[in-house]
Chains A and B, each alone.
Chain A
Amino acid sequence: MALSKIRSDSLEDTAIHGNRNLTINGAMQIFQRATAATAATGYSTADRWWIGETTDGAYTSEKSTDNPFETGSSLKLQVTTADTSLGTTQVARFFQRIEGQNLQHLLYGTSSAKTLTLSFWVKSNKTGTYSILLRKVDTTPYHFIHSYTISNANTWEKKVITITPTAGSTSFITASAGTIDNDNDYGFELAFNLAQGSQYAIGTSNTWSSDTNTYGLNGQVNWMDSTSNNFYLTEVQLEVGSEPTPFEHEDYSTTLRKCQRYYFRTTGSSTGYGNLATVSRIGNTLYRGIVEFPVTMRSRPSFSSSGSFQTLDSGFTFSSISGGDGASFDSHGVQVTMTSNGSAGQSTLLRQAADASAALIYDAEL
């Protein structure tokens, strides 16, 4: 039967459209760097999620198969060194930063600023009151704090938090200082607070604040206080609207591509001899090649390498690998330079040297 009429509600904001989730990798599927890491602070495991702490304790992060639906994955954090008495400026938190140009439809900085809804699934052995922070950084920084309670130990619970632009009877977000820059720097930082020292645990739930020390909730738990403590998180979704919609499940490749805008590492081969780039001699001992990125990266990326490499032709002597001379540092590709002793005009392959984990790494994270 031919379609004679398009239902009007399918075109309106009341319908559930795709690409709603402002966060990336909310289902904790993509772990390009590593599936587990010890106490390192920074981008170490789950793509797009910065994980760290400044306490006297430590915690690990890893990809877990434990999740509310027993079909996906989650981010698991585990305290390995406890800190039962936080210093005033010590914190434990993890966050995701969101590009400002992806937030323009929120109309922040105008009286039409949109209400947002954050939803997520969480589980921990440690019950009590936790908090999230939404930090708007451009123009004038404003911090939004909201509490949530883990009621039952070791039980998955879904949490929903509504973030109105005037929360706490404020007008920060609807005034011009609430504007988010339309650029490739970050406009939001969405953080999950695990522990906050007294200097930063000063927030009031469901309130925007202009005090940039407001990173945590006054009275929240200190999750770092025992090596028994764990924390699981998955299906994080931040979306426009005052009600949560079902979590937007993406196919793996879609989420991977989104993550690779910020971080990309060559995957090579499980044989340990994966080809990484074709390189040609351009100087006495210099060879260069192009590594095309899967997607345009957010900014010109930093380059590093990890592991052992060689050239395919054993007559060449591989010496070093570097990030090129910089003329090639753009967001579409980068040149790899190595030292060798081939003949003029000669080409060869740069490949892994019996090292399946050897990789070229490009980092444009926020």
Chain B
Amino acid sequence: MDITQAQYTNVLGTDVKASVKATIDGQVMYVPLDLFNRHYAEILRQVEAGELTIEEAD
């Protein structure tokens, strides 16, 4: 899974993290923070391996 960009999004009007907006295999995706979601699991794996950084929300 090729992930080239990742940034948190927040619940509207709050600082609560809601999802990760990521470019995965060339496709922009909004990935829920759910360990059973395969995209989120891969994002966490790449972060743990030092291969990816998740930017804070705008």
Contacts and interface: CB of A to CB of B under 8 A. Distances in A.
Interface of A: 40, 42, 183-185, 283, 286, 298-304, 306, 322-327, 329, 363-366
B12 A325 contact: yes
Contact of B34 (A42, A283, A324, A329): A329
B25 A42 contact: yes
Most buried by A among B10, B11, B37: B37
B25 A304 contact: no
Contacts of A286: 12
Contacts of A40: 25
A181 to B, nearest CB: 11
A325 B38 contact: no
B6 interface: no
Interface in B1-33: 1, 9-12, 16-19, 21, 24-25, 27-33
Nearest to B17: A326
Contacts of B12: 283, 286, 325, 327
Contacts, number: 74
A241 to B, nearest CB: 30
Contact of A363 (B10, B17, B39): B39
A304 B18 contact: no
Given A325-B12, A326-B11, A326-B32, A300 B37 contact: yes
B19 A329 contact: yes
B37 A327 contact: no
Given A40-B25, A327-B16, 13 more contacts: A42-B25, A286-B12, A299-B36, A300-B34, A302-B24, A302-B31, A322-B9, A322-B21, A325-B11, A325-B12, A326-B19, A329-B19, A329-B30
Contact of A366 (B21, B27, B29, B38): B38
22 contacts: A40-B25, A42-B1, A283-B12, A286-B12, A300-B32, A300-B36, A302-B31, A302-B37, A302-B40, A303-B29, A304-B28, A324-B18, A324-B19, A325-B9, A325-B10, A326-B9, A326-B17, A326-B33, A327-B11, A327-B16, A329-B32, A365-B38
A324 B32 CA distance: 10
Contacts of A306: 27
Interface string B38-50: 1110000000000
Nearest to A283: B12
Most buried by B among A298, A303, A326: A326
A324 B12 CA distance: 9
Contacts of A303: 29-30
B36 A304 contact: no
A185 B36 contact: yes
A326 B34 CA distance: 11
Nearest to B28: A304
Contacts of A301: 32, 37
Q: Across chains A and B, which 6 residue pairs bring their CB atoms closest together, nearest first?
A: A326-B18, A323-B30, A329-B32, A300-B32, A299-B36, A326-B19
A291 B28 CA distance: 19
Contacts of B40: 302
Contacts of B1: 42
Contacts of A324: 18-19, 30
A327 B24 CA distance: 22
A40 B27 CA distance: 13
Contacts of B33: 326
